[in-house]
C-alpha cells in the first residue's frame, strides 16, 4: 500500500511541475503592453542632463572674493581631456578640423564667474595658492535632446547651455 501511494504522490508532483510553465505562459500575454515604456511623445517631452567633464592644466585663476555674495572667480585651463558630451556640446572649439570628431586637446576653456560653481582646492598647505600647471577638473551637466526626438538637428544644436557645478584644482608643484 505504501509503495503505491508513494508512486501516486510522485506522479502528482511531476504533473504539477509540468503544469506551472503552461500557467505562466497563459498569463504572460495578459501583461503585454503594461511595461515601463513611456512612448515616444512622453520620453521626448524634456531634455535629459548629460555629464560634462573636462580635465586639463591651469592657465590662470582669479579666486572668489568672500566679501561679496556673488561668485567673482574665474578659472582658465588648457584642455587635455574631455568626455564625449563635453566634446560634442560646442563649448570647446575643435583643434584639428582635418581629423574626424572633435579634437579638444590644447584648447583653452574659461569658466566664467557667472556660472554658479563650487571651487575646491586640493593639496594646498599654508599660504600656497594655485599656480600655472596645476591640475584642473571641471564637472557639470549639459541638457541634451535625444537624437530620435530631433533628427533634423545637428549634434551641437541638440546640446543646451552647460551648467558648471564644480571646479577642482589640485596642487602639482612642490610646496615652498
> Can you say how many angstroms the Cα of residue 138 is from the centroid of all Cα atoms in its chain?
12
- 103 lies in some domain: yes
Between the alpha carbon of residue 66 and those of residues 71, 133, 135, the distances in Å are 9, 25, 23
Distance CA 147, CA 117 (A): 29
DSSP 27: H
- 176 lies in some domain: no
Domain count, the chain: 1
Q: Is the pTM of this model over 0.75?
A: no
**Confidence category of residue 35, pLDDT binned at 50, 70, 90:** low
- 9 lies in some domain: no
- 134 lies in some domain: yes
DSSP 80: E
pLDDT at site 26: 57
- 10 lies in some domain: no
Could you read off the pLDDT of 61-112 as tens digits, one per residue?
988 777 777 777 899 999 999 999 999 888 888 888 888 888 999 999 999 8
pLDDT at site 43: 76
pLDDT at site 51: 95
- 4 lies in some domain: no
Q: Are 109 and 52 in contact (CB under 8 A)?
A: no
Task: Give the residue numbers spanning the domain of 157.
Answer: 46-170
pLDDT at site 37: 58
Q: Is the pLDDT of residue 58 over 90?
A: yes
Q: Is the pLDDT of residue 161 over 80?
A: yes
- 21 lies in some domain: no
- 125 lies in some domain: yes
**Is residue 92 exposed (0-12), middle (13-18) or buried (19+ Cβ within 10 Å)?**
buried
Structural element, H or E, at residue 81: strand 74-82
Q: Is the pLDDT of residue 165 over 90?
A: yes
pLDDT at site 157: 87
pLDDT at site 80: 95
Amino acid at each position: 500500500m505504501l509503495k503505491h501511494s508513494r508512486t501516486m504522490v510522485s506522479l502528482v508532483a511531476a504533473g504539477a511541475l509540468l503544469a506551472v510553465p503552461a500557467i505562466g505562459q497563459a498569463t504572460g500575454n495578459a501583461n503585454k503592453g503594461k511595461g515601463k515604456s513611456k512612448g515616444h511623445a512622453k520620453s521626448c517631452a524634456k531634455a535629459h542632463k548629460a555629464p560634462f567633464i573636462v580635465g586639463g592644466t591651469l592657465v590662470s585663476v582669479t579666486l572668489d572674493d568672500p566679501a561679496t555674495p556673488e561668485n567673482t572667480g574665474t578659472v582658465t585651463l588648457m584642455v587635455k581631456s574631455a568626455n564625449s558630451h563635453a566634446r560634442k556640446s560646442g563649448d570647446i572649439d575643435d583643434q584639428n578640423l582635418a581629423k574626424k570628431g572633435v579634437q579638444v586637446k590644447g584648447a583653452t576653456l574659461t569658466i566664467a564667474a557667472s556660472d554658479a560653481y563650487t571651487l575646491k582646492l586640493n593639496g594646498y598647505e599654508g599660504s600656497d595658492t594655485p599656480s600655472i600647471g596645476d591640475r584642473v577638473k571641471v564637472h557639470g551637466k549639459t541638457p541634451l535632446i535625444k537624437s530620435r526626438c530631433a533628427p533634423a538637428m545637428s549634434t551641437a544644436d541638440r546640446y543646451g547651455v552647460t551648467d558648471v557645478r564644480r571646479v577642482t584644482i589640485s596642487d602639482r608643484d612642490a610646496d615652498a
